[in-house]
Amino acid sequence: MNVLLIYPEFPDTFWSFKHALKFIHKKASLPPLGLMTVAAMLPSEWNKRMVDMNVRTLTEKDLKGADIVFISAMVVQRASTLQVIARCKAAGLKVVAGGPLFTAEYEQFENVDHLILNEAELTLPSFLNDLAQGQARRIYTSTEFADIRQTPAPLWELADLKHYATMAIQYSRGCPFDCEFCNITALLGHRPRVKSSEQIIGELDGLYRLGWRGTIFFVDDNLIGNKKHLKESLLPALIEWRKHKVGLVFNTEASINMADDQELLDLMAEAGFDTVFIGVETPDNESLAECNKKQNQRRDLVEDIKRIQRSGLQVQGGFIIGFDSDTPSIFQQQIEFIQKSGIVTAMVGLLQAPIGTKLYERMSRERRLSGLTTGDNVDGTTNIIPKMNLDILHKGYKTVISALYAPKNYYARVITFLKEYKSPRITVPLDFQHVMALFRSILRLGILDKERIHYWKLFFWTLFRRPELFPLAITFAIYGYHFRQVMDSHIV
């Protein structure tokens, strides 16, 4: 059996980093971890090829050489996914599809022959068994949650690693919290399930053997969901593993309550984590209560963020505008909070209601739904009818985005962060492309950019005040360029 695994293209979004990747001559941020993991679950005798459309074009030759096609995608990839399915069907190929997009919206994909929904560890084996007997059904689903201690390591060899800026790995699934707008618990449950430390070390060893020496993103939706296992098993294992390895730093996602545990913060920094994405959402307590974001309530959020930064972890933040409790004052509140916190990478979007969330159910009951979500967190759209006047909401959102990513405010935010940040204990050695990125940034941002005065101010401030953070400062300058391109194209 010749199987072709296809990962559709991401549009130009906040997290695509397409404009920033050009500075280091990379084509995509991350390889398709889910698809490579599914590939490892397929029969070993099958011939497997993968096309990540974010790295290269899907050709007719690719399709002609396949007996069956497997597709995985997220909601933001919907447009590309529909085009890929149409091409595959026109080529006479059977299409097997799974992943978040199909699990949430399977009714929208009539042309897909077989839908492998929910977690593949549970639904894929039944499909493969039925396929071998010539009686495969169209839909395979499960209400159970998989034991990911049995999940195989991804087939990294299917990806051309040199095209990616970061690698991805998964330690846990699920989240103990119950935020109204989040579909993670609907998809993956409230009880965080973890892989063994031996599994993670084995996967890291595999990447290391392939020559990877860069950043690795732990894609867990909340790395600290099972804090006991993390502190007692995984982090000590990573610390020990690092004694015999050079390079590699880790990024992840977690909840703000990590700030309550200094031991945890110190262990994470020692284990090689230098960045964490946190869903801050809003500085307004009434809105936090509305969306059941209990872990963020009754806190000094700015101080929590700075405590994490001072521990050697850069905080990236997610923010939401458009809660029922929000008034027009929220726009300035968000701007002031983000500037004061020094969260450089601040993703701000309008409230959306993904299928499967409690918010979607509530909006459906209140007849306030207006279609499907786009999956793009910063395109200024919403699929709900807000309590606030929609024109005021859109105008205020544009004000927030314009203010946050105006060069003067953005570069000021970088310096605010650099003043607080404790230098990471482990850094990735700079390769040729990262050195060249400095010269490309000087040309593009320091000479050609009309806002170049802000670039040079950061350049020399860091060089003289925090020289050890100079590569990070230049990275932020490049990120800012990407964010401005995305915001300019999204917000009109």
Report yes or no: 272 and 200 within 8 Å, Cβ to Cβ.
Answer: no
pLDDT of residue 117: 98
Retrieve residue 23's tokens: 């500075």
pLDDT of residue 186: 85
pLDDT of residue 492: 54
pLDDT digits over 46-77, tens only? 999 999 999 999 999 999 999 999 999 999 99
pLDDT of residue 429: 72
Retrieve residue 45's tokens: 């005798």
pTM, two decimal places: 0.96
Report yes or no: 455 and 478 within 8 Å, Cβ to Cβ.
Answer: no
pLDDT < 70 stretches in the chain: 425-427, 491-492
